[in-house]
Amino acid sequence: MDQAKEPRPPASDDGPLDSYSETVMRVAETVTPHVAAIEMTGNRRNGRFRFGAGSAVLFTEDGYLLTNSHVVAGTHQGHAVFADGSRTELELVGADALSDLAVVRGRAPRVPPAEFGDAESLRVGQLVIAVGNPLGLAGSVTAGVVSGLGRAIPVWASGNRRVIEDVIQTDAALNSGSSGGALADTHSRIVGINTAVAGAGLGLAVPINATTRRIISALLTDGRVRRAYLGVVSTPIRLNASAVVRTGQRDGLRVVEVLAGSPADAAGMLAGDIILTAGNRPVSNAESLQKLLFADAIGQPLQIAVLRDGNEVDLVAVPEEMAGNG
């Protein structure tokens, strides 16, 4: 008679969870030292007062940090505190309201700079980790996945309604104080700068890519970025089969909103249009449009082809310089 076999223990479900946890902990341990809590201040007759607070990411060995433009708006000075307790006074180097990026500088820190990655390599569903100082809680870490890419969000900046282009959407929780913090991939590379400008709890980040590197370089060199402004809120879209045959391209930008009085409005662009080309170049995401809108585009006619009700329509917009930028 065969000996009865002992039942096998149930398979453990801890493996994937442990792997996930280990990844998040490893990234948090690597990235947190590079992220500082910052407080921007100003002077009044009765002393110094706080303008705003958030986070910033150290990206050079000589003390330059990257944060959000809205965090530093209205002032040129402040201080930063790193995770190891070290503190440095800050001065504003430059800000760009359209990308919601700003550079501040303190003294050379004790820690090495963060490593920048490339947000162009991100995919929807990919794990990302956010490090910042939400609600004054230093070194807070949240994790989530990339929910969307190439988003454009309307915001108020310098008293005007503007659009921040090409943002990353994630379900990693962000709150007040998260702005300016790091969004990292699983290799601990910074792929975005978190921004809570659109509202508490909405996970958005400005991507680190070729366009934002160009913006950062301009801020370091000139303290500002001369930007051409079009005034379109858009989202990437995959064209249907008939549109692919008709236009010869697979992707475009669907216009969600045209800001009243903007150059796009003056050109006759409408919500629901699908932007196919700009300047005779295919447009497949917000960055491909944004990189055409630097100083040399200001005041120059820009040919834009859109798909409207199944027909291609040619428009001509004249981008304006963004007022109050920086």
Q: What's the pLDDT tens digit per position in 10-51?
A: 545 555 568 899 999 999 999 999 999 999 987 777 766 777
The pLDDT tens digits for 261-279 are: 999 999 999 999 999 999 9
Fold of 31-105: Thrombin, subunit H (2.40.10)
Judge contact between 155 and 161, C-beta under 8 A: yes
Topology at the third CATH level for domain 119-221: Thrombin, subunit H (2.40.10)
Q: d(Cα 7, Cα 192) in Å, to the nearest integer?
A: 49
Q: 135 falls in which pLDDT band (50, 70, 90)?
A: low
| pLDDT value of residue 17 | 63
For 83-124, write each residue's pLDDT tens digit.
Answer: 888 999 999 999 988 788 999 999 988 888 999 999 999 999
Closest among 131, 113, 102 to 40, alpha carbons compared: 102
CA 317 from chain centre, in angstroms, equals: 26
Indicate if the pLDDT at residue 149 is higher than 80: yes
3-class secondary structure per residue, the chain: CCCCCCCCCCCCCHHHHHHHHHHHHHHHHHHHHHEEEEEEEEEECCEEEEEEEEEEEECCCCCEEEECHHHHCCCCEEEEECCCCCEEEEEEEEEECCCCEEEEECCCCCCCCCCECCHHHCCCCCEEEEEECHHHCCCEEEEEEEEEEEEEEEEEECCEEEEEEEEEEECCCCCCCCCCCEEECCCCCEEEEEECCCCCCCEEEEECCHHHHHHHHHHHHHCCCCEEECCEEEEEEECCHHHHHHHCCCEEEEEEEECCCCHHHHCCCCCCCEEEEECCEECCCHHHHHCCCEHHHCCCCEEEEEEECCEEEEEEECCEECCCCC
The domain segmentation of the chain, as residue ranges, is: 31-105, 119-221, 228-321
Confidence check: pLDDT of 291 > 90: no
What homologous superfamily is domain 228-321 in, according to CATH? PDZ domain (2.30.42.10)
Task: Quote the tokens at residue 60.
Answer: 């050079």
Please indicate whether residue 12 is annotated as part of the active site. Answer: no
pLDDT at 18: 81
Please report where in the chains the tokens 């040919």 appear, as a residue.
303
Annotated active-site residue 179? The verdict is yes
Say if CB 164 and CB 153 are below 8 A apart: yes
Higher pLDDT, 236 or 197: 236
**31-105 against 228-321: fold identical:** no
The per-residue pLDDT of the chain, averaged, comes to 86
Neighbours of 79 (CB within 10 A): 16
Q: Looking at 55, 96, 100, 284, which residue is catalytic?
A: 100
The predicted pLDDT at position 10 comes to: 52
Count of residues in the chain: 326
Question: Does residue 137 register a pLDDT over 80?
Answer: no
| Active-site choice (55, 99, 178, 179) | 179
Cα distance between residue 323 and residue 326, in whole Å: 9
Choice among 34, 55, 69, 70 that is catalytic: 70
Look up the pTM and report it.
0.74
